[in-house]
Structure 1
Amino acid sequence: MTKLSVNINKIATLRNSRGGNNPNVLQVALDCERFGADGITVHPRPDERHIRYSDVYELKAHIRTEFNIEGNCQEQKFVDLVLANKPAQVTLVPDAQGQITSNHGWDTIKHKSYLSDMVALFKEAGIRVSLFVDPDPQMVEAAAQTKTDRVELYTEGYALAYLKNPEEAILPYIKAAQTAQSVGLGLNAGHDLDLHNLAYFHQHIPRLLEVSIGHALIADALYLGLEETIRQYKNCLIP
């Protein structure tokens, strides 16, 4: 069954907007686990505008499901943070400095040598590595040459196109998924997946190992409550 990893960045954003520790990021993570989440995702950025580096250490010490740290490995502080905490998975994302949210995948052809070095560094530390990529078979093939364990398909394009034509929206992702499987890569997906488009995506992408969802899930929780929201997202992933 496809795993649901809950990205708790937006919980940290809310906390930081007022100062103090309300809502408590760690407690929310533990509650997500208790409500059925299969993993917890964080995406620390250099300005610490949401997840703080100190949060990562606290989360690592207490959560019991899979811990996934996303971020830009071109930041040495991020690399040091990951190696110090040794999460189950690190997802490497090519964010620019000050970027609001991730908006593209790696050019795994152009950066193949660099990514190969980074993949080797994290794998030597016993950390599973996933590369954030666009749904382009060439990028998936080149990702495999870096020896990464998985790729995470960037799904904003799917989410936008789904509103007009789901059948066309899913096609590039099917091709990318088929390529990933043909070259032996595990497959994750994330970005703008929600209760409207997730089930369709899951039904058409075979052997999808994990989805990482934050913004939409936390927004839905304002209306549905966190426990019910996680239950509904998990229902979208039933085979």
Structure 2
Amino acid sequence: MHSLNNNDLLLIGDLVYEIDLGPMSNIAFTRIQRECKEVVTNKEIAETGIMIEILNDSLSEIKGQIRGPPDTPYQGGSFDLEIKIPDTYPFTPPKIKFLTKIWHPNISSQTGTICLDILKDQWAASLTLRTVLLSIQALMCSPEPKDPQDAVVAKQYMSNPALFKETAIYWTIKYARGKAEENPTYRERVEKLRDMGVTEVCCLRFSDEAISVLSCNNWDLAKATDYIFS
């Protein structure tokens, strides 16, 4: 088998990359090269709405994209992921987090960190980038609120499923380019929070921080205001 070297040319899909291994081993590079090709060229993967974009020539940084699954609050949305491949891959898992904000019990609404066993202690070298991305998409379909990454979201999911669904849809519209109709009540409460001067007083520079506070307080404007000023 030919050993990969710096400055070799690599074809993935229709794009050509000049190899820069950096600190990555030949084993890791060869493996992730094959897995990237699998995701890029597989029509079935494309039909599920999973795509990747390679960000550097060592293949250590990849941008993923997952289409929100049908019949979920994320339907119609497009969710970006940060994927970092460690030098020790595939013996250690990739580091993956959501770049697009999402309201989900197993994904941090603040940092995008994902609670998924195969990204932690259940990782095996036989797993691939394809299976990981499909598992994340499956998690979007079937949340596990009893093993949450975001306890506030999980509590809402279990105590008020209808409110959780409406909130998740709202976040999908605002952050993931979802096409559903925006909830006018939620929009009005975000605007009221800004009109009250909360943005300036609490250094909330963007409306997404107001949305986060309201979502965490079940869209109760009074509670959200008390939370901020307390």
TM-score normalised by structure 1 residue count: 0.23
Q: Whose helix fraction is larger, Structure 1's or Structure 2's?
A: 1
Work out which structure has the larger RCO, using CA pairs closer than 8 Å and 6 or more positions apart in sequence. 1
- Bigger Cα Rg: 2
TM-score normalised by structure 2 residue count: 0.24
